[in-house]
Chains A and B, each alone.
Chain A
Amino acid sequence: MGASGRTPARGPGGARPRLAVWKFASCDGCQLTLLDCEEELLSVAAQVEIAYFLEASSAPGPGPYDLSLVEGSITTPDDLERIRHVRRVSTRLVTIGACATAGGIQALRDFADVREFLSVVYARPDYIATLDRSTPISAHVPVDFELRGCPIDKRQLLEVVSAFLAGRRPVVPPNSVCVECKARGNACVMVAHGTPCLGPVTQAGCGALCPAFDRGCYGCFGPMESPNVRALNRQLRELGMSTPELVRVYRTFNAGEEPFRQASEDADPELLGHEKAPGEDRGGRR
């Protein structure tokens, strides 16, 4: 995969490239990020034809699209079909956000019984069509690039869009949050006040926001390129985190990312008892 887009994305005859934004199970926050580019929105719109973006326009243009941004995870049988359609009509497909990239918070159902979840919320669960897993887009169709974050970062979104338009590799460094944290000039919250932090195992991109606000990173950008969760877990325990806390901290918005899943299971192997049998297909990726 990777994003070595060799030729810039251009529509036929040098027309403006056509952009589409799709939504699956999600909170809308990631696609809203596009509308939150207040200073850049009109320039983006001048460079690309925003051809399909239901949140913003009631004139959906027909496919094919040069670049599709996909938000949300796959949780229903219909969506399973729809994502295949999206892939067919898109030259390049980029997933935006933790839902699309890792299954999102709704992937917590993977650790429980979805029927039971249903009955907690709905009196008549039988009306609800849902899959028992929340899976990332890449579990169903090939993806050209995955942009992390819950929500994604606005600068990174613009970077990905402009990189795809210019035909270069997006500059989205997969290293730890610590690199950004130090560049920003934060004092490490773990070292300076013993606050547990997932920064060392989490991918950069947010600009080290949480430490800048005196709290530990909670991993909303998912695992960094070479996360040593075991080593971090030892330290987090030293700082006073209990086993259930450790399990919970990895089971939030990126629970479906393998290293985080692993980390939560490592933290408490016993918790595995009443969950799915090991080895069973987890519907994840990699």
Chain B
Amino acid sequence: MTHKTITVGGLSRVEGEGALLVRARDGRIEDLELRIYEPPRFFEALLRGRSYTEPPDITARICGICPVAYQMSACQAIEAACGVEVTGPLRDLRLLLYYGEWIESHTLHVYLLHAPDFLGYDSGIAMAADHRDLIQQGLALKKAGNDLVAAIGGRPIHPVNVRVGGFYRVPSRRELAPAAERLRRAREIALRTVSWVAGFDFPDVEHGYRFLALRHPGEYAILSGALITSDGGSFGVREWPEHVIEEQVPHSTALHARLDGSPGYLVGPMARYSLNSAQLSPLAREAAAAAGLGPACRNPFLSIVVRAVEIVHACDEALRIIDDLAEPDAPYVPVEPRAATGHGASEAPRGTLYHRYRIDADGLIGEADIVPPTSQNQARIEADLRHLIEPRLDLPEEELATLCERAIRNHDPCISCSAHFLHLHVDSR
């Protein structure tokens, strides 16, 4: 009888902190836990009693890596409750801001967190010793994203310019010009990035993922749309609660989300790409094809290529928007509170991010619910790990641990954004 415990304590190069615990006996995995140390921060609770104008600023603080995503989902949920839709140039500006975050977040992951796995380094910084130009190019790409967010939002982390209904002030063309300039160079880098990462060695694995993502009739969905699944399902954002149920499972460390009754679906770049790749910008589609990606992608190790393709798309689309950006009449549309519940979802870099708010006639929040991508993927990541490990239990422990870490990083889990991951200190017996 063999009994084996693999622990990867202090999971690195994921934003936030987590650990993996695997217990195996006789070649079978008995127990696998992706542990999250993230202490609970109670956002949904502390939002109650706040004004309907506050969630964009407050929920941004759930995650410093994708604050714009939180702001966008929050704004749209509240606007939906108040019966307002933000369209035209203001929506374009929102998209632009969002693309900035995508570029920044994806590049961070591709260059500093994920690529070192393929090239055998501990970190992007260590990698810079041998590949300084590469890392510098990645940093320039990342900066282009950050600069775009800062030009519109004021700063890259927790931007200050977003409000329910639009913006506080619309940046002038002059203010956007330097960011646009940088984007042009960034697009070139993004293209090079796709071919660079496409040349990595990828383990040959495929999973039968069930994907969930937004789809928008006119664009590769990021800011809004309706939800679709890879098994043909589709539903509107406001039907989310009927389809996605979050449960606290005693033997698990996180709230597990179930989609239409069953657990283990995936959101994020692979889901978006596999469901919507036809809507990518022509340049991004070309890059994907050249990189050998088909219309869908089910190898999690290839997610780095998908991210790179999405960066190309983001740069390309951002430039298109900047070039024909019209001056909005006002920086925001007025949003008057009314007693109602509103739902909002957008595609954070890591996947679909859903918000729901119930507000009263005075605009005070009675109830808030936030479902971040990482908590949705939690069960699926564990499943990936099981598949990966079970046939390889004979590998030396250290190697196995490294492999597991890599498998987790494929999904770029942003643990701090899991508004309500658990810290479980007792195992189930």
Contact = CB atoms under 8 A, between A and B. Distances in A.
Contacts of A272: none
A120 B358 CA distance: 14
Contact of A58 (B12, B15, B136): B12
B58 A50 contact: no
Contact of A130 (B39, B65, B155): B39
Nearest to B124: A56
Given A39-B143, A105-B58, A127-B424, A28 B154 contact: no
A25 B40 CA distance: 8
B157 A118 contact: no
A28 B40 contact: no
A127 B249 CA distance: 10
Contacts, number: 201
Most buried by B among A57, A106, A121, A214: A121
Given A29-B64, A127-B248, A213-B160, A109 B12 contact: no
A243 to B, nearest CB: 13
A56 B123 CA distance: 6
Question: Interface size for chain B: under 10, 10 to 19, 20 to 34, or 35 or more residues?
Answer: 35 or more
Contacts of A26: 64, 416
B250 A124 contact: yes
B39 to A, nearest CB: 4
Of A39, A124, A129, chain B has the most CB atoms within 10 Å of the CB of A129
Contacts of A148: none
A38 B143 contact: yes
Interface in B82-109: 108
Interface in B135-155: 135-136, 139-140, 142-143, 146, 154-155
Contacts of B112: 35, 56
A118 B13 contact: no
Interface in B252-278: 255
A23 B64 contact: no
16 contacts: A27-B416, A28-B15, A28-B63, A32-B108, A42-B132, A54-B12, A58-B116, A105-B46, A108-B46, A118-B42, A121-B45, A124-B250, A213-B160, A214-B168, A252-B58, A253-B61
A100 B67 CA distance: 19
A143 interface: no
A117 B420 CA distance: 12
A120 B123 contact: no
Interface string B48-67: 10110010011001111101
B125 A50 contact: yes
B373 to A, nearest CB: 15
B405 interface: yes
A59 interface: yes
Contact of B154 (A56, A213, A248): A213
A3 interface: no
A275 interface: no
B61 A56 contact: no
